Amino acid sequence: MSENTLDDIKLETRKLILEILNIEDVEPEEISTEISLLSGENIITIDSIDVLEVVVAIQKKFEVSIRDANHARLIVNTVDSIAEFVQTQHQEPAHS
C-alpha cells in the first residue's frame, strides 16, 4: 500500500465507501473529496451508524490503525482527510 499515490488512495477510499454503504447509482468520481461525508452536503452521507464501519474498513484496507474515536470522526470527515491520514501513516516507519 505504501507505493500508492494520494490520488490512488482517494479513489480506493471512494470505492470503499460506496461498497460499505451499498450504493450502486453513484460513481466514485462523483463523491467530492473536499466536502464532509458526515454533513449531508456531499452526494453521499456517512451517518453515525456507518462511521465505525468505515473506520474498520479503512483500517483493514489500508493497514492503518484508527483507535481513537474522536480522531476517527475527523479522519473520516472527507475523502481528502482519509487519504492524507492513510498516506501519513504509511510514511511513518512503525505504523501498525
**Would you tell me which residues interact with other proteins (CB under 8 A)?**
36, 38-40, 48-53, 56, 66-74
| Nearest CB to other proteins, comparing residues 27 and 53 | 53
- Closest approach, Cβ 10 to other proteins, in A, equals 21
- Closest approach, Cβ 67 to other proteins, in A, equals 4
**Side-chain-side CA neighbours of residue 82 (13 Å):** 33
Give the integer Cα–Cα distance in Å for 78 and 34.
6
CB distance 62 to 88 below 8 Å: no
- Closest approach, Cβ 50 to other proteins, in A, equals 7
